[in-house]
């Protein structure tokens, strides 16, 4: 009976002081009674903690928080917000009194979310920074949490320090792969200066990871060239130039060419060259493509010509100049304008006028670029031999070894003509067949080794080659197709 009365008395005390009854599940009765006594002794207004379990837990666990709470409540008017911030601390295994009250209040007052609050409080709130610097850090933390779930605590110190950089506040300058960005900025000396240059001059540009990769090749040299050029042509023209340059994939050739050749242009003429992509391309690459009307070309045709100019594909440029009508006839879905085609798998300098004609009739969706061998340069005829074929043909072609290209194409054309690979889909069988066909053509296998089997078709030869090792001792005994 006594224990029952004590519990009733405790519940009454909690009720009188507006303490959540849920605290009974977490704390011992004597702890809660001492807490109620402290509330009375310190005359703590229940408006500071009523209905806010995390505030109550903090008060119960650490009496020092009684001295924190009045200051926090004066600065942060809504107790629900204080409760939410304390909940974040508790979830991270920390308490409010682990930090000076001034840092705690400053972090609560400035941060927009619980995650940003905790990261700022733990990693940055002790820095001797002014309000503007604090805002920069908080904005960067907000962007960081927007882009990744990786905890700030897992970042190396030098990457964490990057979050103090104002240039990262502009999400148009920071690609969504924020982890990769921070790593590159710390590992590539001079890259941060390039990004600062864009930020400080307020250029209206959008950067991606490919741009960062390009900048990282020689960032110190690039930054000096950009600064020099900016002084020479002015901010307005430099902004136009940066848009055209980034649109063009950031080739270093463009900047070098511009530095050497812009002096002969007045401010108005220079702006005319930069206001449109065609004008820019004509200025940068026009001397390489004198007989090609660049200003009339759509972007997808400009791209392949720009690639050719940058990568010294002069034979290809000459081919287009000499066969411009063929080039003009090609539509946007032509094989020639697929970037994987010309940048990864084919040397444009090897194309001829006949290939241009053939491009018009090729449905680019029927070439499986993902099935081609990475790093291998194909001839145009090789790709057309693989055209409109399932993936197993690509795998077999890759397995043909020590053969001339023409011999490989002959093998593929035979397989394609009679649809001999339609049912051969397992990689192990494809490898066996590729090995056998690398030794001898299919017809030679049939006429030299299987000639005694009457009625044998090429499709049967395929099966015999695949299983030759297992059935070799029976092959001499086979006389007819039926026995096979």
Mean pLDDT, to the nearest integer, of 264-268?
78
Quote the distance between the C-alpha of residue 54 and its chain's center: 40
Q: Structure pTM?
A: 0.69
Q: What are 11's two structure tokens?
A: 């519940």
Residue with more model confidence, 288 or 410? 410
List the alpha helices (DSSP H) in 148-202: 157-161, 178-187, 191-200
Q: What is the pLDDT of residues 112-141, one digit of tens each?
A: 788 899 999 999 999 887 889 999 999 999
Q: By three-state DSSP, how is residue 79 classified?
A: helix
pLDDT tens across 37-53, in order?
999 999 999 999 999 99
pLDDT tens digits, one per residue of 95-105: 999 999 999 99
Contact, 363 vs 333, CB < 8 A?
yes
What is the share, in percent, of the chain residues with pLDDT greater than 70? Answer: 96
Return the pLDDT at 1. Answer: 39
- Which residue in 281, 273, 229 sits closest to 255, CA to CA? 229
Phi, psi of 28 (to 5 degrees): -70, 150
pLDDT digits over 47-72, tens only? 999 999 999 999 999 999 999 999 99
Q: How many CB atoms lie within 10 A of CB 77?
A: 8
Q: Please check the confidence at residue 482 and state whether its pLDDT lies above 70.
A: no
Gap between the Cα atoms of 430 and 438, Å rounded: 12
Residue 266 pLDDT > 80? no
Residue 458: name the closest of 407, 424, 425 by CA: 424
Distance (Å, rounded) from C-alpha 381 to C-alpha 387?
Answer: 10
Residue 434 CA to residue 400 CA, distance in Å, equals 5
Separation of alpha carbons 95 and 75, rounded Å? 19
Q: Which tokens in the block code for residue 151?
A: 């905890």
What is the rounded average pLDDT for all residues in the chain? 90
Pick from 287, 285, 262: nearest CA to 272: 262
Spatial distance between the Cα atoms of 282 and 294, rounded to a whole number of angstroms: 6
The reported pLDDT for the residue numbered 2 is 42
Say whether pLDDT at 461 is over 90: no
Q: Which of 350, 348, 334 is nearest to 306 (CA)?
A: 348
Place of tokens 């605590």: 153
The helix (H) or strand (E) run that includes residue 166 is: none
pLDDT digits (tens, 9 = 90+) for 309-342: 888 899 999 999 999 999 999 999 999 999 999 9
**Residue in this structure with the two tokens 């499986």, named with its chain if needed:** 368
| Least confident span in 179-183, 415-419, 452-456 | 452-456
- C-alpha 127/C-alpha 452 separation (Å) is 89
Assign 471 a pLDDT band (cuts: 50, 70, 90).
low
Predicted local confidence at residue 394, as pLDDT: 97
Interhelix angle 114-123/101-110, nearest 10 degrees: 140
Burial of 193: CB neighbours in 10 Å, binned 0-12, 13-18, 19+: middle
The confidence score (pLDDT) of residue 469 equals 66
The pLDDT score that the predictor gives to residue 9 is: 83
Evaluate if residue 5 carries a pLDDT over 80: no
Q: For residue range 82-92, list pLDDT tens digits in order.
A: 999 999 999 99
Q: 453 versus 173: which is more confidently predicted?
A: 173
pLDDT of 470 above 70:
no
- Taking only the tens place, the pLDDT of each residue in 335-367 is 999 999 999 999 999 999 999 999 999 999 999
**Mean pLDDT across the stretch 355-384?**
94
CB 66 within 8 A of CB 44: yes
């Amino acid at each position: 009976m006594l224990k029952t009365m004590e519990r009733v008395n405790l519940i009454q005390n909690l009720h009188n002081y507006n303490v959540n009854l849920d605290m009974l599940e977490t704390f011992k009765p004597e702890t809660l009674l001492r807490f109620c006594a402290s509330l009375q002794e310190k005359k703590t207004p229940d408006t500071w903690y009523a209905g806010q379990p995390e505030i109550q837990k903090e008060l119960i666990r650490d009496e020092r928080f009684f001295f924190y709470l009045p200051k926090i409540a004066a600065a942060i008017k809504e107790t629900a917000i204080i409760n939410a911030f304390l909940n974040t601390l508790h979830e991270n295994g920390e308490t409010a009194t682990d930090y000076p009250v001034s840092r705690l209040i400053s972090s609560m007052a400035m941060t927009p979310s619980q995650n940003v609050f905790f990261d700022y409080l733990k990693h940055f709130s002790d820095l001797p920074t002014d309000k503007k610097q604090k805002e920069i850090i908080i904005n960067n933390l907000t962007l960081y949490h927007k882009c990744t779930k990786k905890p700030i605590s897992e970042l190396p110190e030098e990457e964490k320090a990057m979050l103090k950089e104002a240039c990262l506040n502009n999400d148009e300058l920071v690609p969504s792969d924020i982890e990769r960005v921070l790593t590159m900025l710390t590992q590539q000396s001079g890259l941060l200066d390039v990004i600062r240059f864009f930020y400080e001059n307020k250029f209206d540009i959008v950067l991606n990871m490919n741009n960062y990769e390009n900048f990282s090749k020689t960032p110190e040299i690039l930054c000096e060239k950009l600064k020099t050029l900016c002084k020479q042509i002015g901010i307005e023209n430099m902004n136009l130039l940066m848009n055209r340059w980034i649109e063009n994939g950031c080739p270093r050739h463009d900047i070098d060419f511009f530095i050497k050749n812009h002096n002969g242009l007045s401010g108005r003429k220079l702006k005319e060259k930069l206001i449109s992509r065609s004008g820019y391309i004509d200025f940068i690459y026009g001397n390489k493509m004198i007989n090609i009307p660049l200003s009339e070309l759509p972007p997808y045709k400009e791209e392949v010509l720009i690639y050719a100019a940058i990568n010294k594909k002069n034979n290809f440029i000459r081919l287009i100049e000499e066969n411009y009508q063929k080039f003009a006839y090609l539509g946007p879905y032509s094989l020639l304008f697929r970037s994987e085609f010309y940048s990864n798998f084919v040397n444009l300098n090897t194309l001829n006028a006949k290939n241009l004609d053939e491009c018009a009739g090729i449905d680019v969706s029927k070439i499986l670029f993902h099935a081609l061998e990475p790093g291998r340069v194909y001839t145009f005829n090789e790709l057309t031999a693989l055209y409109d074929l399932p993936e197993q043909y690509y795998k077999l072609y890759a397995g043909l070894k020590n053969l001339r290209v023409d011999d490989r194409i002959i093998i593929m054309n035979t397989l394609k003509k009679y649809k001999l690979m339609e049912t051969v889909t397992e990689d192990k069988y494809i490898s066996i067949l590729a090995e056998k066909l690398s030794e001898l053509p299919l017809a030679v296998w049939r006429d030299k080794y299987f000639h005694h089997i009457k009625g044998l078709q090429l499709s049967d030869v395929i099966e015999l080659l695949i299983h030759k090792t297992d059935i070799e001792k029976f092959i001499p005994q086979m006389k007819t197709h039926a026995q096979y």
